[in-house]
Every structure is written in structure tokens, then in C-alpha cells.
Structure 1
Amino acid sequence: MKKRLTYLALSVLLLVTSCTDDIDDNINLEATTSEKFYGLFQAEMTNQTQTFAFDSESGLVTFVSDNGVYLTIDGSCLRKNGQPVTGQVNLEFIEIFDRSTMLLTNKLTMGLDNGQKKLLISGGEFYINATQDNVNLTLTCEMSLAVPTALTEGTAPEMAPFIGTVDANGNILWELSPMIESWNGTLNPNSNEQSYNALLNNFGWFNYDFFMDDNLPMTEITANVPVGYGHGNSIILLATSNIPNSLGSIGGVYPIGLDCHLIFLSEQDGKFLYSIKENQTLVNNHVVNFPLSEMQLVTAAEMRTIIDALD
């Protein structure tokens, strides 16, 4: 599905910017570069990364994340350039459950369904990788992941396993992976909590998800943005009302009548440049306008607070 993004060539918007309280008079209003914009997300990815070290010859090893997720790996199944691994191994682990973290890391919940990008509701997004001497390792047997369902408002029986593919900028797209074994709502023997459980045979990005109910007619969204902002240096996000564990983009299709918030996001002087159109109800061929005069600059921490406050 080709992203529909149009541009506002309205010089009036640029002229009134210097007299608004939202943008400081001294800020350079030239549109940012792709490198600076996506650099904001990479900084937050680093902040979200948990690291563990373990001896590959210790056999079955279980790690518990900051949020109580259990990851179990058999060290004897690790391979480096096709050969069994000995000695210390470094593990990287990222867990994402809420839309503010999804925004700050650019790890949206957009899934591919019959060739169309549609919104997913997540039971947790995860990045898992093991390295030795900066060489990525592989697995010859499965590792297990147990995620408490309480982290995303309780067990949803329709949750299914998805694998994420990341492009050069860090944009992610999820696809259903029927090859992965998973169980929903079973008790985790380590914690006696209801959990989403899966057996994974590859490192990388994994997500528990299900598609938002799309029995209604669907529509695309067109965003009018100021000159200079478009593909590569900004994104338009969609936060669904009352669903905190989901975040989409206007590159997909959505149910007509959906209540949501639409968010313009870019970069300026190392901060997020943003504007939010709250309480939108989608209509057929929905159009949203983001004049530069309405935009504000915030830090990552301030952006998180703003997104968390959305209903």
C-alpha cells in the first residue's frame, strides 16, 4: 500500500510561525534531515536495551526482564559462524508494551494482512539478540518467551505470533508467523502468572498481536503537511482512543468511524517537533491538516508524558 502524503505549500503558515507561542523565535525552521529525525529513535532504542551476560556452557539459562518477562535459552544450542559456542555470551533484550515507547523507538504496530497494512493491538514487542565478540549468534533449538498478560490489560485469546522486518531507517512491519508455537493465557511455571508463551527459533523482532476488528468499511488517511516535510523526515501516527498498547501510521487502512488521535512527528534541534489532532473520528478518505504554526518542540521525556496522557 503506497503511503498517501500530500504537502501544503502555504507561505502564510511559514509567515505566522514566528509570532506563535509554540515555536521559539530563534529556532531554525528549515525542515530536518532523515538522519537527524531517525537519530532520535535510535537514542531511545539504546535507552530501552537491557543487557545480560552468561556462560554458554551453563546449559539452560533463564533471564527475567525489567517487566517480569521470562526468556529461557539453552546455551548448547548457540552457534557462532556455524560452530558451537563456548565462553561468555552477551544478550540484548528490548521490551515494548505502551504506545509512548512505540513512538519514541519508532516500533509501530502495523501488520501486513493480504497485502494491506493494518493496525495491530500488541501483547508486547520484543527484540532478542545474542552476540560474542560482536558476532551475531544463531540457534539450533528453540528459546522460550513467557510474557505476563497483565502487562497489556489481561489475556486476549486472539493474540498470535508475529515476526518483524526492519528497514534501514528502523521502520518495522509485522507479519503473522504460523510456524511459531504459542499459547495464550497459560500459567508460567516460573511465576504462576497468566502469560503469552511462545517457542522461538530465531533471534530478532517478535510481537504478540492481533489485528483490530475490521468488519467495517476501511479508509486511507491523507495528511497535509508543511513544505519540506514528507517521506524520510517526518511521520504521521495514529493512536487509537482507549487502546494504549497500539500505535499505527497513515501508511495503512483503518475502519471508518474509528475514534483516534493523529500525530505529526519530526525533529528540530535535537528535539521532537510535533502536533496532535485529538479526538478524530475517521470518515471515508479522511484528510487531516498539520500547519507549522500549531507545532511544538519537546524533549523525549516530555513527548512520553504527552502521549501517555491521551485517552
Structure 2
Amino acid sequence: MRKNKFLIFNCLILVGLTCQVSCKSDPVDSDITKASAASFEALRSDFIDSKAQGVNFPAESGVDFTSSMGARVQIPSDCLNDANGRPVKGQVSLTFVELYDRGGMLLANKPLMGVNDQGQLLPLVTGGQYYLTVKQGEKDLRPGCSFHVQIPARHTGGIDQEMRLWKGLIGAEGNLNWLDIFDPKVNPAQGDEPRFEEGLGVIAGDTGQYSAYYDILSAYFGWTNVDRFVMVDGPKTKIQVQVPEGYDQRNSAVYLLYEDEPNALAQLDIYDTKGKFFTEHYGFVPVGLKVHIVFASASGQKVVYSIKDVQVTNNAVYTFAQGDLKTMDKENLVKMINSLK
């Protein structure tokens, strides 16, 4: 009997040691502090500012500017007006931000969600997006004519002939939605403002090969995108993504990355305050599709994130726990997001 007690005692010790080794939970990042709405927005704004390029030029001379990634902005001479429509003379400053990858778009909170002709907000595939503004001092200027912007198609896998031109609109929650510039239902004429010619085409690039650039004839400054809607057949569903206590739409966001579609970045832009989960409007998520669900927030100067790889099921609920959260600097997170298949 004493021998049996000894064996039982040793087994209990062995089980305890085994549990300490194999049952121990993953370490929690104890340095994470929950972001305020202001600090989360600052992290995004700082990332956009880090991507900004620009040039000063005389308004009466126009400008021919080429970005670090090969985009070209050509504004004719005497094409700039002030807010009252009066022509501007003297020195002005151009600012240009270009985003071609979903990692950069996620950090900048510039997801790819477009309004269709029924008013629904649905995922897009991008050929690249940019932000363009011209100022004189602190005053924003307006174009007084049409001007050209050319963006390289090589950054998004080459020309897609189904692409259209979209105008960015910041919504009440601070998210960027895209309006088809050619659809009067979603982008009506603005009163008596002059309407300049706008369009999207493709041109040969420096390589001499056909369709090397998207050629945009634009009539407005701000956010612009070359996109088409994501085409995935089969049934769709709405999903819910629950996030840790203390996070909501003011200090965090949830995005969807579609497997094998590196040029799409969807967002779950609705937060249910009662159920404490993110979702979206119309049930656009394809059932059976493999997706990466990305939770994003901020902690100081670092990004708080977590990624779940799932195969979507009908009306699924996915949960991020506090212990799932990690931190990473902005540029490394961009690289990680872009490396996901």
C-alpha cells in the first residue's frame, strides 16, 4: 500500500511538471496600453505623413512632378484657383502620398470599400491610390482645369482593364469610402461648380511596353483610387468579430485580407456597442473563402495587432482575446501584412 501511495505521489508530481511545460499559456505583451481615439488617429496620421512627398513651384508655371515610386503629376500653368475661384499666382506647394500595398493602406486606414449603384459599401481591388493637394501657405487650392496623374501598374501586378476611377470621401467615423467618379447616383454634380473633363486610360511606360501606367485625367484634389469591385462567386454572409474589453471603433479597427488577392483590403466598419463586436452592412463576406482577419490599434508609437486565419462559415463569430494582442513597429507590420498570401 505504501508503494502504491508513492507511485501516485510521483505521478501527481509528473502531471504537475508536465502541465507547467505544456499547459502554460502564451506570454501576454504586458507593455500594451489601450489607445485613446486621439492616439490611434495620431498613429495613422504619422504613418501618412511619413509617406508624403512634395515640391514647391510657381502657380503660373505649373509643375511636372515624379514621385519616388514612379507616379507622375502634371498640372498645367495657370490652373490653380483659391476657394473663391480666383486664379492664384506665386509660390505654391504640392503634397503627394501614394499607396499601392494593403499593408500601407491598413496602417493609413485607407481601406478599399466602394459604394455601388445601390448605395452599398463593398470591397474593391486596387490598382493604386494616392492623395494630392496643393496649398498656398495654409490655404487649400482647387484645380481650375483638368490635369494628369499617371501611376505605375507594376506595383499592383499590371494593368487590369476593368478598373475605374474613384474619389475618396471621409465618413463620419473617419473611414475612407470610395465613390465611382462616373456614377451620378453616388457622385452628383456640386451645384454651379465648373465640371472639368475626367477619365481613366492606360498608356505605354518607360519600358516601351503597352499598358505600363494608369493615366488619370483628374479634376479634383484629395484621395483618388483606381479600382474595381471584388468578384467572388457563391453565397455571402455577415460575420461578427469580438474584440477585447476597452476597444471599440474609436481606438481600434478590424480588416479582412482575402487569400490570394493581395490588392484587396476590406473593413468591418460597424461596431455594435451592445454586443461589443465589429461587423459590416450588407453581408459581403464570401462563405468558404479563406481570409486573414486583422485587429489593429495603437500602444504608444507601436501598432497593436492580432491576425486570425479562418475559412469563413455562415454567420460566424470570431473572437480576439487580450492575450492574442501583440505589438510591432509600423514598417515591420506593413511588411508582415504584405507577406500574407
> Which residue is 1:246 aligned to?
264
> Which residue is 1:123 aligned to?
127
> Which residue is 1:270 aligned to?
301
Question: In 2, are the aligned partners of 1:53 and 1:91 still within 8 Å (CA)?
Answer: yes
Are 1:56 and 2:59 an aligned pair? yes
Q: Secondary structure at the match of 1:158?
A: coil
Q: CA deviation at 1:47?
A: 0.2
Question: In 2, are the aligned partners of 1:55 and 1:88 still within 8 Å (CA)?
Answer: yes
Of Structure 1 and Structure 2, which has the larger fraction of its residues in strand? 1
> Which residue is 2:319 aligned to?
289
Deviations 1:272-294 (A, max 9, x none): 1111002x222221221101111
Q: CA deviation at 1:192?
A: 4.2
Deviations 1:183-241 (A, max 9, x none): 443325x7745221121111111000000014422211201111221121111111111
Please give the alpha-carbon distance, in whole angstroms, between the structure 2 residues aligned to 1:110 and 1:55.
Answer: 36
> Which residue is 2:76 aligned to?
74
Are 1:307 and 2:337 an aligned pair? yes
Give me the TM-score of the superposition, normalised by structure 1. Answer: 0.86
> Which residue is 1:106 aligned to?
109
> Which residue is 1:44 aligned to?
47
Q: Secondary structure at the match of 2:160?
A: coil
Q: CA deviation at 1:168?
A: 6.3
Kindly tell me: are residues 73 and 286 of structure 1, through their superposed partners in 2, closer, same or farther at Cα, counting changes over 3 Å? Answer: same
Q: CA deviation at 1:112?
A: 1.4
Structure showing greater Rg: 2
Aligned pair count? 288
Kindly tell me: are residues 229 and 297 of structure 1, through their superposed partners in 2, closer, same or farther at Cα, counting changes over 3 Å? Answer: same
> Which residue is 1:185 aligned to?
202
1:272 maps to amino acid? V
1:177 maps to amino acid? I
Please give the alpha-carbon distance, in whole angstroms, between the structure 2 residues aligned to 1:244 and 1:75.
Answer: 38
Which residues of structure 1 form unaligned runs of 5+?
1-18
Q: CA deviation at 1:170?
A: 4.1
Please give the alpha-carbon distance, in whole angstroms, between the structure 1 residues aligned to 2:202 and 2:288.
Answer: 31
> Which residue is 2:219 aligned to?
201
Please give the alpha-carbon distance, in whole angstroms, between the structure 2 residues aligned to 1:49 and 1:167.
Answer: 22
Please give the alpha-carbon distance, in whole angstroms, between the structure 1 residues aligned to 2:330 and 2:144.
Answer: 39
Q: Which has the higher relative contact order, 1 or 2, with Cα contacts under 8 A spaced 6 or more apart?
A: 1
Of residues 231, 235, 240 in structure 2, which corresponds to 1:217?
235
Q: Secondary structure at the match of 2:47?
A: helix
Which residues of structure 2 form unaligned runs of 5+?
1-24, 184-196, 270-279
Percentage identity across paired residues of the two chains? 31
Question: In 2, are the aligned partners of 1:149 and 1:185 still within 8 Å (CA)?
Answer: no
CA RMSD of aligned residues (A): 2.1
Please give the alpha-carbon distance, in whole angstroms, between the structure 2 residues aligned to 1:296 and 1:195.
Answer: 38
Give me the TM-score of the superposition, normalised by structure 2. Answer: 0.79
Please give the alpha-carbon distance, in whole angstroms, between the structure 2 residues aligned to 1:75 and 1:221.
Answer: 51
Question: In 1, are the aligned partners of 2:230 and 2:264 still within 8 Å (CA)?
Answer: no
Kindly tell me: are residues 305 and 264 of structure 1, through their superposed partners in 2, closer, same or farther at Cα, counting changes over 3 Å? Answer: same
Question: In 1, are the aligned partners of 2:146 and 2:198 still within 8 Å (CA)?
Answer: no
